Amino acid sequence: MEYASNILGTIGNTPLVRINRITSDLPCLVLAKYETFNPGNSVKDRMALKMVEDAEADGLLSPGGTIVEGTSGNTGMGLALAAIVRGYRMICVISDKQSREKIDILRAVGCEVHICPTDVAPEDPRSYYSTARRLAEEIPGAWYVNQYDNPGNTRAHYESTGPEIWQQTDGRVTHFVVGVGTGGTISGVGRYLKEQNPDIRIWGVDTYGSVFKKYHETGIFDPDEIYPYVTEGIGEDILPENVDFEIIDGFTKVTDRDAALYTRRLAREEGMFLGNSAGAAVKGVLQLAEHFGPEDVVVVLFHDHGSRYVNKIYNDQWMRDQGFLDPESGPPVKE
């Protein structure tokens, strides 16, 4: 018999799938590391489990303890699965701009969800950030995860995602392209791949409205780069400790409109039903075309599943409201 002893045993070993139509003008082979095959439907299951295991080993979390994280989506789901199997209480603290579905999904897997106002500064005691920290301090046996700065996030990808990509490509991968949020995925995979072959190029995909690209190019944290944007999961207004800028060769920025349109193209032209950071990532690959030759093997990682986005990217009215379906007028882009 062949079976996993619990759902956590199904995390990782995701497939690598060729992208055929969207990237057909590129000279190289483009392969998607397809992370929705994880049980929580995203790459985040890997780092969630790793951070819980680390906290157990460090004595920060013990039986009957409580996990607290400020998360609305994929990390919350990954932590919830680990919490269920290992016997912890799970509290997600989220801001009130999050969709109903996200709250319902977290509650469906047994999370306690605390909803905080969005329109307050991070240091305000009512913010989701302050509330998560306070709950972790007040509840006996509670542990605050902090995925942005927790080194287990990067290590999970160094130990699993990176080696899988290396083995699945027989060591022939030449470029890795991925959206950057906390930085765990790019830093862990990037470090592993460069240790195997320092010539492998690591490219980050950033949003307009995020600080990463400019910081990487100039060393300047520019508050003018920060403004609201639509693409979920990537781009930041902070510099998380998990972003290892030394490992990254460059960033390319993708507009919200392109991310949305390419997410829909992935679904309709490749049968790949994914979230909008995947559209951003594949558009990022196309923007980097000049860097690829006929012998190259480009791996792009797709983080999460389309089901969370049916009322957004996959909804025509929502797309029209954003101006994303009008060929003439995308939303303003600040260069």
Query: Cβ 153 to ligand PMP, closest distance in Å?
Result: 7
Query: Cβ 55 to ligand PMP, closest distance in Å?
Result: 18
Query: Cβ 295 to ligand PMP, closest distance in Å?
Result: 28
**Comparison of 244 and 296: residue with beta carbon closer to ligand PMP:** 244
| Nearest residue to ligand PMP, by Cβ distance, number only | 233
213 is catalytic: no
What residues line the site for ligand PMP (CB under 6 A)? 73-74, 179-186, 232-234, 275, 277, 303-304
**Comparison of 65 and 260: residue with beta carbon closer to ligand PMP:** 260
Q: Which of 44, 50, 213, 253 is catalytic?
A: 44
Beta bridge partners of 115: 94
**Comparison of 259 and 288: residue with beta carbon closer to ligand PMP:** 259
**Comparison of 50 and 175: residue with beta carbon closer to ligand PMP:** 50
| Residues 6+ positions from 74 with CB-CB distance below 8 Å | 40, 41, 42, 43, 44, 233, 303, 304
Query: Cβ 271 to ligand PMP, closest distance in Å?
Result: 19
Catalytically active residues, by annotation: 44
